[in-house]
């Protein structure tokens, strides 16, 4: 999982890493524009920063339903604007804007690389790019110039105060500097910079994922929310497809779906509010000889586990957590419950996931947000509403969610992996 995190500085790289893992166990990549094969097998498709993979076992019927693990590939970060390079006060900078609920001050004082995708003038597939070098640095304001910062707290204006520095500005005052960073990325990708007509580029911390603590009981990385879940969902499906996990005696179609844009509301062609998953499920039913009637019967037998990280109880801020529902790092998977349906967990979904944890021999925790604090959300409510299926929101505990670098328990991913294997093959 640490290697997956290191390989995935952007959603597009996460999709590529998931596709590589699935292909290694024999899954066949399909295109949405082509006819799909009928019958059993393991398959996957990509759509931008999203991916869907599924395993059709021998003997499954069109009405037998699905077991779905859903996660997302995007994480809060700083993204380059369409005209990203500028000069101010004798220095070159990158113009950025926050993506999602960024913990802004966590990006200060870091050497940052750039990754994402380039779109070329002549069409064809988009080009993945990645520069794991200190392209820029987001410098903190010295305490001598802000004497009250430790008492007042740090507030950063996203318009201008998050723009990192790349070097000295040799252009005239007020002039926009040349597209040096985009040109460098194009050169590293082996394409002509003049052919780049658009891009989706983002910054990432160059500090690699690491085990933490004398006994290695913790691990730290960027993008734990939600690439831990993206990896675990992919690995669970790959394990089933590769025969590592025993197939169920009562077969269902196992599905892993990784959406993009969850951190900004999921409203996109690659997001959970779109048609990506529903269209795949319908085409699978059609491939098994069913129609709309069989699709609705299959959905009535379907259970979705929405897999997203959750807040572990922070030892420095215990008052920010509900005292009756502590979440411990190393304590295993967590079911997330919210009365206002910010999580889609229902009793049937909880029972299904609890049964999977029991079958895998792993503990199960429960997270409930403090009633006097606003609650976050996941892809779970969108999938429950769109598909009308039994849903449970689950995750692993972590600290510093949405920071440039986050912390989690090293024992938790193996426990979740075991639970997901039992969930996908009940």
> How many Cα atoms are found within 13 Å in the side-chain-facing hemisphere of 156?
19
For residue 176, what pLDDT is reported?
45
Spacing of C-alpha 266 from chain mean position: 12
Mean pLDDT for 393-418 is 98
For residue 180, what pLDDT is reported?
86
Most distant pair of Cα atoms in the chain: their distance: 72
Q: What is the mean pLDDT of the chain?
A: 94
pLDDT-derived band at 247, boundaries 50, 70, 90: low
CA 252 – CA 412 distance, rounded (Å): 27
For residue 249, what pLDDT is reported?
66
Predicted TM-score (pTM) of the model is 0.95
Backbone angles phi, psi at 292, to 5 degrees: -65, -40
pLDDT per residue as tens digits for the range 352-383: 999 999 999 999 999 999 999 999 999 999 99
pLDDT per residue as tens digits for the range 128-167: 999 999 999 999 999 999 999 999 999 999 999 999 999 9
pLDDT per residue as tens digits for the range 49-91: 999 999 999 999 999 999 999 999 999 999 999 999 888 899 9
> Which stretch of 208-222, 237-251, 270-284 has the lowest confidence by average pLDDT?
237-251
Look at residue 171 and tell me whether its pLDDT is greater than 70: no
DSSP count for the chain of H helices, then E strands: 10, 20
Residue 357, SS3 per DSSP: helix
Q: Are 288 and 38 in contact (CB under 8 A)?
A: yes
Note the residue count of the chain.
426
Look at residue 412 and tell me whether its pLDDT is greater than 70: yes
For residue 245, what pLDDT is reported?
65
Other Cβ atoms closer than 10 A to 37: 12
For residue 179, what pLDDT is reported?
78
Q: Are 394 and 303 in contact (CB under 8 A)?
A: no
In 41-154, which ranges are E strands? 41-47, 50-56, 66-72, 77-88, 91-99, 111-120, 127-137
Domains in the chain, ordered, with CATH? 2-75+222-424 (3.40.630.10), 77-205 (2.30.250.10)
pLDDT-derived band at 169, boundaries 50, 70, 90: confident
């Amino acid at each position: 999982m640490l290697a997956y995190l290191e390989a995935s500085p952007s959603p597009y790289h996460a999709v590529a890493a998931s596709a590589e893992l699935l292909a290694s166990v024999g899954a066949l990549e399909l295109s949405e524009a082509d006819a799909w094969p009928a019958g059993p097998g393991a398959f996957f498709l990509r759509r931008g920063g999203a991916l869907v993979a599924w395993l059709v076992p021998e003997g499954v019927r069109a009405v037998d339903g699905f077991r779905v693990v859903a996660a997302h590939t995007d994480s809060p970060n700083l993204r380059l604007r369409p005209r990203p390079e500028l000069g101010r006060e004798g220095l070159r900078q990158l113009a950025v804007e926050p993506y999602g609920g960024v913990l802004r001050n966590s990006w200060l004082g870091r050497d940052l690389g750039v990754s994402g995708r380039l779109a070329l003038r002549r069409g064809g597939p988009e080009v993945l790019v990645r520069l794991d070098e200190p392209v820029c640095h987001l410098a903190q304001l010295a305490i001598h110039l802000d004497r009250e910062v430790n008492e007042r707290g740090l507030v950063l204006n996203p318009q201008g105060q998050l723009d990192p520095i790349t070097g000295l500005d040799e252009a005239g005052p007020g002039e926009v500097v040349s597209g040096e960073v985009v040109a460098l990325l194009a050169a590293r990708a082996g394409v002509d910079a003049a052919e780049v007509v658009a891009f989706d580029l983002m910054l990432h911390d160059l500090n690699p994922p690491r085990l933490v603590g004398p006994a290695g009981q913790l691990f730290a990385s960027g993008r734990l929310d939600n690439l831990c879940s993206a990896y675990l969902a992919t690995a669970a499906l790959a394990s089933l497809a590769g025969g590592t996990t025993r197939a169920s005696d009562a077969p269902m179609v196992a599905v892993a779906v990784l959406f993009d844009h969850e951190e900004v509301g999921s409203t996109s062609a690659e997001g959970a509010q779109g048609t990506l998953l529903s269209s795949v499920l319908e085409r699978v039913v059609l491939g098994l000889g069913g129609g709309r009637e069989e699709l609705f019967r299959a959905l009535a037998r379907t259970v979705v586990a929405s897999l997203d990280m959750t807040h572990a109880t922070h030892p420095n801020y215990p008052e920010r957590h509900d005292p009756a529902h502590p979440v411990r790092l190393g304590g295993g998977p967590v079911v997330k419950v919210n009365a206002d349906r910010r999580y889609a967990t229902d009793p049937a979904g909880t029972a299904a996931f609890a049964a999977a944890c029991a079958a895998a021999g792993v503990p199960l925790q429960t997270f409930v947000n403090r009633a006097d604090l606003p609650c976050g959300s996941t892809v779970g409510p969108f999938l429950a509403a769109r598909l009308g299926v039994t849903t449970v929101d689950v995750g692993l505990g972590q600290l510093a969610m949405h920071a440039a670098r986050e912390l989690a328990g090293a024992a938790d991913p193996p426990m979740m992996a075991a639970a997901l294997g039992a969930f996908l093959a009940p």
